[in-house]
C-alpha cells in the first residue's frame, strides 16, 4: 500500500522542461526554477514530464534525467514531486515508474495509452495496474486528458472500484471540461480521501464548487501567487473576489489564443529570470504582457 505522507492538494505547477537553443534539456536552471516557484509563486508541489513539460516528446533518458534533477533540487524545498510516467509502451512506463520510486519521487501519474487505445474500463484499468505495480510504494494518480489521448472512458466509470484493483491509487488529474463527470467522481468517492486535482486552469473556480481538492496547471508557474489568492478568497467564502480573480485570468487565456501558448509560458520565465533560453520558440514582448499578470 502506498504510504500517505499527506494528501496532494492545493496548487501543483505543471513544470516546463527548460531547453537550450540547441534543443538539449537545460538542467542547470532547475534549481533556480524551484526557488522561483516556492519564493515568488508560493507553489510547493510540482507535476513533472506531463503535457506542459512535453514529456512524451522527450526520450526515456531525458525524462529520467529531468525527473532526477527536480527531485534532487526540490529536496527540503518542495512538498511533493509527482512524476508523469505515461508512455505508449507498457515496458517504458513501468521503467519510468520504477525509476521514480528509486530517486525518491512522491508519486507517479499515468495517462491512457493513445495509439492502440483501451476500448473499455477494464482494458484501461489493466494497463494502469501494471504500471502502478512497478512502483508499489508510491501513490498513483490517473491523468485524465481525453482531448489529447482520444480515450473517452469517463473518469467516474474508471474510479468505480479502482482501489480494489490498484491499491496505491490515490487520485485523479482531471484535464477535461466535463464538469458533470468531474462532479460525479467527487460525489461518488467522498469517503475515499482521493485527491481530485483539476487540470483546466480557466475553469478552476467552477471545479472548486464541484469539490476539487487541488489543481495541476501550467499557469501556476507564473500565476501561482494570484491563484493562491483566489483559493484563499474561496475558502473564506468571499466568492465575489474569487470570481474577480478568475475573470482576470481570462485575459491570460485570451492572450494565449492570440499568440503561441508555449511562447507566453516561456516568456514569463524569461522575464522572471528563471532561465535565459527555453529553445528557439519566438515569444511576445514584455510590453505585450504588462498588466496581464
User: Where is the binding site for pyruvate, in residues?
Assistant: 52, 216
C-alpha cell belonging to residue 277: 533560453
Q: What single-letter DSSP state applies at residue 112?
A: P
Catalytic: 143? yes
CB-based contact 86:121 (threshold 8 Å)? no
Bridge-partner residues for 144, per DSSP? Answer: 174
Distance CA 263, CA 259 (A): 7
Torsion sign (Cα): 89, 53, 140, 123: negative
Task: Report the relative pairing of strands 107-111 and 80-84 from DSSP bridges.
Answer: parallel
236 Cβ contact partners less than 8 Å away, ≥ 6 residues apart: none
- 3 state SS of 144: strand
CB-based contact 117:149 (threshold 8 Å)? yes
Options 33, 44, 142, 173, the catalytic residue: 173
Question: 7-33 b/e with 16+ CB inside 10 Å = b?
Answer: ebbbbbbbbbbbbbeeeebbbebbebb
Specify binding-site residues.
52, 216
Options 142, 143, 222, 245, the catalytic residue: 143
Catalytic: 40? no
Q: How many helices (H) and strands (E) does the chain have?
A: 13, 8
- 3 state SS of 256: helix
Terminal CA-to-CA distance of the chain, rounded, Å?
42
CA angle 87–88–91, rounded 5-degree value? 75
What amino acid positions are annotated as catalytic residues? 143, 173
Amino acid at each position: 500500500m502506498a504510504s500517505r505522507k499527506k494528501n496532494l492538494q492545493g496548487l501543483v505547477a505543471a513544470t516546463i522542461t527548460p531547453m537550450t537553443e540547441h534543443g538539449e534539456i537545460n538542467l542547470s536552471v532547475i534549481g533556480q526554477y524551484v526557488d522561483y516557484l516556492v519564493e515568488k509563486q508560493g507553489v510547493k508541489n510540482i507535476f513533472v514530464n506531463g503535457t506542459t513539460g512535453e514529456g512524451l516528446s522527450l526520450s526515456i533518458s531525458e525524462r529520467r534525467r529531468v525527473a532526477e534533477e527536480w527531485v534532487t533540487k526540490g529536496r527540503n524545498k518542495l512538498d511533493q514531486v509527482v512524476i508523469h510516467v505515461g508512455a505508449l509502451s507498457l515496458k517504458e512506463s513501468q521503467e519510468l515508474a520504477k525509476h521514480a520510486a528509486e530517486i525518491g519521487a512522491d508519486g507517479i501519474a499515468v495517462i491512457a495509452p493513445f495509439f492502440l487505445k483501451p476500448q473499455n474500463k477494464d482494458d484501461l484499468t489493466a494497463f494502469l495496474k501494471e504500471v502502478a505495480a512497478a512502483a508499489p510504494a508510491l501513490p498513483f494518480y490517473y491523468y485524465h486528458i481525453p482531448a489529447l489521448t482520444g480515450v473517452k472512458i469517463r473518469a467516474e466509470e474508471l474510479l468505480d472500484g479502482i482501489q480494489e484493483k490498484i491499491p496505491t491509487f490515490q487520485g485523479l488529474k482531471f484535464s477535461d471540461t466535463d464538469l458533470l463527470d468531474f462532479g460525479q467522481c467527487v460525489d461518488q468517492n467522498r469517503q475515499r480521501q482521493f485527491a481530485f486535482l483539476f487540470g483546466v486552469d480557466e475553469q478552476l473556480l467552477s471545479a472548486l464548487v464541484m469539490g476539487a481538492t487541488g489543481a495541476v496547471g501550467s499557469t501556476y508557474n507564473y500565476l501561482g501567487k494570484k491563484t493562491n489568492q483566489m483559493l484563499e478568497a474561496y475558502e473564506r467564502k468571499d466568492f465575489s473576489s474569487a470570481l474577480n480573480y478568475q475573470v482576470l485570468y481570462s485575459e491570460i487565456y485570451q492572450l494565449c489564443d492570440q499568440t503561441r501558448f508555449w511562447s507566453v509560458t516561456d516568456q514569463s520565465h524569461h522575464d522572471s529570470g528563471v532561465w535565459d533560453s527555453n529553445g528557439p520558440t519566438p515569444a511576445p514582448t514584455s510590453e505585450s504582457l504588462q498588466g496581464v499578470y
